[in-house]
Structure 1
Amino acid sequence: MSDSEPTAGTIRFRNKEGTMDAVALLWRGLCDKPKTLRKYITHDAVLAEPDREVYSPRTEPTLKEYLEDSYEPWTAYKIHGDPDFVEVDMMASTVTYRVTAWRLKRGEMVATEGMCSSTFRQGPGGDWKCCVHHMAQF
């Protein structure tokens, strides 16, 4: 596989385009209600938050419990530069990128600078969903 940009019309090109769209949808969900976020993550997803907590179906609390009980949506985000894309196989990919995300706290926008790595897999209907999202704070 070449390190160059994928050629239009190839599977790798379509995978990259689908993954980049999925990143935007993932962040849309991270900035909205847990119900929205669940549309863009897999049933067995792992979410590693910048506070160093990790949530999955096997953690205590589970990812589902965390999203329902204590998840605070981001208010806004900005991805800096072009994410680095890696095609894992024909139905899975990972992107790594720098992000600034803000949360509204006590009437003030508080920024979090971090690096994210998000892994997606393509479902039978062709939709890309996140199965691992890790945000490490600077």
Structure 2
Amino acid sequence: MSQVLGLTNQSGGGQMQGAGKVGGGFHGEASDVKHYSGAKKPKERNTIAKRNLADAIDCETLLWRAYCDEPDSVPEYMSKDAMVIDPVTLGDATPVGREDLEGRLKQVQPWTAYRIHKDTRVVSQIGLMSMATMCRLTLYKMGASAKDNEQVEAVSSSVWRQTAGAEWECCSLMVGYAE
């Protein structure tokens, strides 16, 4: 039986061999993607999965800290091919790449603070060295007076990949208003 890239010329019509790989087969078989609902940082980092989980949580935290402290530093966390859709911060849902993001972030007033709702956080290992995160968060902006303060409920989804140099970079970020 010849096999190229997991596909065979065997009858059964194009199913991937080795069920249990990310994505399973073409017919919705179970996947070995690991999901961590309500994810918390593991105390021990003695496996790749635990290190990746902890790193994804740290990366998400650092990204939102950058949104608050220095928005123009956010692109430092992004891959060169990153795409961002963030109407909450940028004002519209136009997809922007890393270069355009840098210019757009210079024009916005930074968030004063953020709160990630840890009970809503889901982290998924989507490859050996890539992670996806989703969470609900509350973003705060302080105005000149108390009546000018702003609180926004949002949801965020991001995909992180590890480079050959062991650095994590965000390659996709989507932020939207929560209901």
Among residues 16, 31, 35, which one is paired with 2:68 in the alignment?
A: 31
Larger deviation, residues 100-109 vs 126-135: 100-109
Among residues 113, 121, 126, which one is paired with 1:88 in the alignment?
A: 126
Q: Which runs of 4+ in 1 moved over 6 A?
A: none
Tell me, what secondary structure is at the counterpart of 2:172? strand
Q: Equivalent residue for 1:113?
A: 153
Larger deviation, residues 29-38 vs 73-82: 29-38
**1:62 shift after superposition:** 2.3
Residues 2 and 102 of structure 1: CA distance in aligned 2, closer, same or farther (over 3 Å) = same
Superposition map of 1:64-103 within 5 A: 64-68=102-106, 70-82=107-119, 83-103=121-141
Taking the aligned partners of 1:91 and 1:10, their CA distance within structure 2 comes to 12
Tell me, what secondary structure is at the counterpart of 2:149? strand
**1:20 shift after superposition:** 0.6
- Name the aligned partner's letter for residue 75 of structure 2: R
Residues 31 and 11 of structure 1: CA distance in aligned 2, closer, same or farther (over 3 Å) = same
Unaligned runs of at least 5 residues, structure 2: 1-31, 37-41
Q: Equivalent residue for 1:19?
A: 56
Residues 54 and 106 of structure 1: CA distance in aligned 2, closer, same or farther (over 3 Å) = farther
Relative contact order: is structure 1 or structure 2 higher (C-alpha 8 Å, sep ≥ 6)? 1
Structural RMSD (CA): 2.5
Residues 3 and 132 of structure 1: CA distance in aligned 2, closer, same or farther (over 3 Å) = closer
Taking the aligned partners of 1:93 and 1:32, their CA distance within structure 2 comes to 24
Count of matched residue pairs:
135
Taking the aligned partners of 1:16 and 1:85, their CA distance within structure 2 comes to 7
Q: TM-score, normalised by structure 1?
A: 0.82
Q: Equivalent residue for 2:172?
A: 132
Deviations 1:64-107 (A, max 9, x none): 32123x23321100011241011111121111111000123443
Asked which structure has the greater CA Rg, the reply is: 2
Determine if contact 1:55/1:63 at 8 Å carries over to the other structure.
no
- Structure in which a larger fraction of residues adopt strand: 1
